A and B are shown apart, each in its own frame.
Chain A
Amino acid sequence: MYTRRSINSVAIFLAVYLVQVVIFDQLHIPLGGFSIFLIFTLCWSALSTPEVGAIVGFFAGLLLDLAPASNGPLGQWALILSSIGFGIAFLRYGDDSLRSDPLSLVIFVAAAVSVAVTAYIGFNGLLGLEVGRVSQLIRTVIGNGLWTLAIAPFVLPVASRLHHAVFETREFQ
Chain B
Amino acid sequence: MRYGGDNRSRLLFVTLIVTSLFLITLDLRGVSLVTGLRHSTQSVFGPVQRAASSAFSPVGNFFSDIAHLGRTRAQLKNLQEQNSQLRSALVQRKDIETQIKQLKSVLNLAGTGGYKIVSAKVISQGTSDSFSQSITIDVGSNGHVTRDMTVICGDGLVGVVKEVYSSTALVMLESDPSFRVGVRIAGSQEIGILTGQGTDKAIMQMLDTQSTVKVGDVLLARGSEGGKPFVPGVPVGTVTSVPNSAGQVSQLAEVQFFTHLHSLGIVAVVLTPPINDPRDALVPPKPIPTPIPTVTIYATPPFVTATPGATPTATPTPTTKK
CB within 8 Å of B: which residues of A? Answer: 18, 21-23, 25-31, 49-51, 54-55, 57-58, 61-62, 65-68, 70, 73-76, 78-79, 82-83, 86, 90-91, 93-96, 127
Contact = CB atoms under 8 A, between A and B. Distances in A.
A74 B5 contact: no
A83 B17 CA distance: 7
Sorted from nearest, which 10 A-B pairs have the closest CB atoms?
A75-B23, A30-B67, A94-B3, A79-B20, A28-B64, A73-B27, A26-B56, A93-B3, A75-B24, A22-B52
B165 interface: no
B13 A66 contact: no
Given A68-B46, A74-B26, A78-B20, A50 B63 contact: no
Contacts of B42: 68
Interface stretch (B33-41, B237-245, B298-306, B311-319): B33-41
A121 B57 CA distance: 27
A50 B45 contact: no
Contacts of B297: none
Contact of B60 (A27, A50, A73): A27
B45 A68 contact: yes
A61 B12 CA distance: 16
B48 A49 contact: no
B49 A21 contact: yes
A74 B49 contact: no
B66 A93 contact: no
B24 A27 contact: no
Given A27-B60, A54-B9, A78-B23, 19 more contacts: A26-B55, A26-B60, A27-B59, A28-B60, A28-B63, A29-B67, A51-B13, A68-B46, A70-B38, A73-B23, A73-B27, A74-B23, A74-B27, A74-B37, A75-B26, A79-B21, A82-B13, A95-B1, A127-B28
| Chain B facing A: main interface SS | helix
27 contacts: A21-B45, A25-B52, A26-B49, A26-B53, A28-B61, A28-B64, A29-B63, A51-B9, A51-B12, A51-B13, A54-B16, A68-B42, A74-B24, A75-B20, A75-B22, A75-B24, A78-B16, A78-B23, A79-B20, A79-B21, A82-B20, A86-B9, A90-B5, A91-B2, A93-B3, A94-B1, A96-B1
A124 to B, nearest CB: 12
A22 B49 CA distance: 6
Interface in B165-214: none
B57 to A, nearest CB: 7
B19 interface: yes
Contacts of A62: 23
Contacts of B26: 74-75
